A and B are shown apart, each in its own frame.
Chain A
Amino acid sequence: MNDRVAAPPAVRQGSRPVAVVSFAQAPSVRHESGRNEVEVLMPVIAEVFANIGITKDDVGFICSGSTDYLIGGPFSFVAALDAIGVWPPRRESHVEMDAAWALYEAWVLLQEGEVDAALVYGFGKSSLGDLAKILALQLDPYVMAPLWPDPVSLAALQARALIDAGKATERDFAEVAARSRRSALGNPNAQVAYDWSVNDLLAEDYVVAPLRRHALPPITDGAAAVVLATAERAFEWAERPAFITGIDHRVETHSLGARDLTTSASTTTAGATAGVAEGEVDVAELHAPFAHQELIVREALGLGPDVEVNPSGGALAANPLMSGGLIRIGEAARRIMDGSADRAVAHATSGPLLQQNLVAVLAAP
Chain B
Amino acid sequence: MAERCAVIGVGQTRHASRRDDVSIAGLVREAAERALDDAGLSWGEIDAVVIGKAPDMFEGVMMPELYLAPALGAVGKPIMRVHTAGSVGGSTALVAAHLVTAGIHRRVLTVAFEKQSDSDAMWALSVPQPFAAPLLAGAGGYFAPIIRAYMRRSGAPPHIGMEVAVKDRLHALKNPYAHLHLPDISMQMVEESVMLWDPIRYLETCPSSDGAAAMVLGSEVAAGQAEAATGRRPAWVHGMAMRSEPTMFAGRDQVNPRAGRDCAKDVYAQAGITAPRQEFDCAEVYVPFSWFEPMWLENLGFCAEGDGWKLTDEGATSMDGGDIPWNCSGGVLSSNPIGASGMLRFAETALQVRGEAGERQVDGVRRALGQAYGGGSQFFAMWVLATDKP
Contacts and interface: CB of A to CB of B under 8 A. Distances in A.
Given A81-B246, A95-B81, A95-B83, A75 B375 contact: yes
Interface string A71-90: 11111011101100111111
A197 interface: no
Contacts of A108: 98-99, 102, 104
B266 to A, nearest CB: 8
Interface string B73-100: 0111111111111000001000100110
Interface in A89-111: 89-97, 101, 104-105, 108-109, 111
B104 A67 contact: no
B310 interface: no
B78 A251 contact: yes
Given A134-B62, A140-B67, A91 B103 contact: no
Contact of A101 (B80, B104, B131, B258): B80
Contact of A96 (B56, B98, B246): B56
Interface stretch (B29-37, B154-162, B219-227, B247-255): B247-255
A222 B30 CA distance: 39
A36 B131 CA distance: 9
B259 interface: yes
Interface residues of A, number: 65
B304 interface: no
Nearest to B58: A74
Interface residues of B, number: 68
Given A101-B80, A145-B61, A89 B259 contact: yes
Contact of A253 (B69, B245, B249): B69
A94 B56 contact: no
Contacts of A139: 67
A186 interface: no
A199 interface: no
B66 A355 contact: yes
Nearest to A265: B76
B322 interface: no
B77 A251 contact: yes
B247 A82 contact: yes
Nearest to B260: A89
Given A95-B83, A350-B63, A86 B244 contact: yes
Most buried by B among A71, A145, A351, A356: A356
A113 interface: yes
A255 interface: yes
Main secondary structure of the interface of B (DSSP, over half): loop
Interface string A253-272: 11100000000011001000
A78 B101 contact: no
Contacts of A141: 24, 59-61, 64, 67, 118
Given A112-B2, A138-B63, A90 B80 contact: no
Contacts of B248: 82
Contact of B66 (A15, A248, A254): A254
A137 B62 contact: yes
Contact of A15 (B23, B24, B103, B247): B103
Contacts of A112: 1-2, 98, 101-102
B127 interface: yes
A15 B103 CA distance: 8
Contact of B102 (A14, A77, A95, A352): A14
Contact of A111 (B84, B102, B128, B130): B102
Contact of A97 (B54, B80, B243, B257): B80
Contact of B262 (A14, A88, A350): A88
Contacts of A75: 55, 85, 375
Contact of A351 (B1, B61, B63, B80): B63
Contacts of B69: 251-254, 355-356
A87 B246 contact: yes
B297 interface: no
Nearest to A352: B66
Contacts of A97: 63, 80-81
B66 to A, nearest CB: 4
Contact of B2 (A72, A94, A111): A111
Contact of B243 (A85, A90, A138, A250): A90
B78 A137 contact: no
Contacts of B241: 91
A47 to B, nearest CB: 21
A72 B124 CA distance: 10
Interface in A326-365: 350-352, 355-356
A77 B83 contact: yes
10 contacts: A15-B2, A36-B130, A67-B63, A73-B129, A74-B55, A78-B85, A78-B375, A109-B102, A251-B75, A356-B79
Interface of A: 13-15, 36, 62, 67-69, 71-75, 77-79, 81-82, 85-97, 101, 104-105, 108-109, 111-114, 134-135, 137-142, 145, 248-255, 265-266, 269, 350-352, 355-356
Given A91-B242, A250-B76, A269-B76, 11 more contacts: A75-B85, A86-B245, A90-B244, A92-B242, A92-B243, A96-B81, A112-B102, A138-B63, A141-B118, A251-B77, A254-B67
